[in-house]
Amino acid sequence: MTKQQVARRAILSGSTFEEQIGYARAVVDGDWVHVSGTTGFDYTTMTISEDVVEQAEQCLRNVGAALEEAGCSFADVLRVRYLLPAREDFEPCWPVLRRYFGEVRPAATMMMCELVDPRMKIEIEVYARRGSGSRV
């Protein structure tokens, strides 16, 4: 297949939400990787911490696993969206977010909204392009 003929590929994490709702953790389309809004659930145990900072860490571990399966890394992230129900929960997460994105500097947006489960305090969505990290 040529680069233009690369088939779309879904990446599944094993989250029960993917099956129940009907979506993929990430979709690879050519060099582009679209990672769905990802929460702080540990998908192996389907548990979630009550602490927003711990949730942010787990979100990024989940996002990182999807990026790795897609053949890229956080260095390839071009766009990130943070979704939080409570504005005051965002700033405590900044040190975690800076560890993952501080050198990458993707375009970013924080939005306030309700999340599907009241235990969820943060959701993170990213867009990446494989190989773009080498030019950062």
CATH number at residue 129: 3.30.1330.40
- Region 107-121: mean pLDDT is 97
What are phi and psi for residue 41, nearest 5 degrees?
Answer: -70, 140
Number of domains in the chain: 1
For residue 107, give its domain range.
Answer: 3-135
**What secondary structure, in 3-state letters, does 29-67 show?**
ECCEEEEEEEECEECCCCEECCCHHHHHHHHHHHHHHHH
3-state secondary structure of 127: strand
- Region 7-31: mean pLDDT is 88
Whole-prediction pTM value?
Answer: 0.89
What pLDDT score does 115 carry?
A: 96
Residues 6+ apart with CB under 8 A from 16: 46
- Region 111-131: mean pLDDT is 96
What pLDDT score does 134 carry?
A: 57
